[in-house]
Amino acid sequence: MVIKYFSWIKEHIGKSEELIELPDNVKNVSELINYLNNLNDDYKKVFVKKDLIKIAVNRTYCSVETKISNNDEIAFFPPVTGG
């Protein structure tokens, strides 16, 4: 699965994109966040601000309950500030 990060989230995690093999027990976004939080503290420092993080799966807004699979592209980003 491809995970993309934008804005300050990208800076905190230190990368704009990463490729991961989804473990069998990770079925939705919430479980993916738990999995990432266990990798290192950089993720924990980001996802502790979960109320400030928007999620997209395959370029469509979704929630933490959204089901995911290894072929998906998931993105984490702050509320948008364009225009």
79 is a contact residue toward other proteins (CB under 8 A): yes
12 to 51: interface string for other proteins, x by CB under 8 A: ----------------------------------------
* Beta strands across the sheet bearing 17-19: 17-19, 2-5, 73-77, 54-57, 60-62
Cβ nearer to other proteins, comparing 21 with 82: 82
Coarse DSSP helix, strand, coil percentages of the chain, rounded to the nearest 5 percent: 30, 25, 45
Among 36, 55, 60, 71, binds other proteins (CB under 8 A): 60
